[in-house]
Amino acid sequence: MANNPRHISDVLTEFMVRYGYTRQRWAGAVEEAWAEAAGPGLTSATRVGRLHRGVLEILVASSPLLQELTFQKTDLLHRLRRLLPDQPIQDLRFRLGRIG
């Protein structure tokens, strides 16, 4: 039986995918980008949710803040796209949720 050696990059990629490292790293990058795009005032009352079909969900602590973010949506989306050019973020969806 012949032993077929594999390139180390293939092994590492498989390991990272299998154990969710790439997902964790992606989530951290998105959270950092959201913090920079939204600023400290908004970051403390929001939380990054999931990305589904190009729509990034942002959980928001209150209805008034949700409305304010809706007004700022276009600007926030442009900032996120600039900060994360390789991510497929096409839209933002704000929804009420528990923060912290």
The tens digit of pLDDT for each residue in 33-67 reads 999 999 998 989 999 998 889 999 999 999 999 99
Q: What is the pTM of this model?
A: 0.73
Q: Which two tokens stand for residue 23?
A: 């997902």
Burial readout 35-56 (b: 16 or more C-beta within 10 A, e: otherwise): bebbeeebbebbbbbebeeeeb
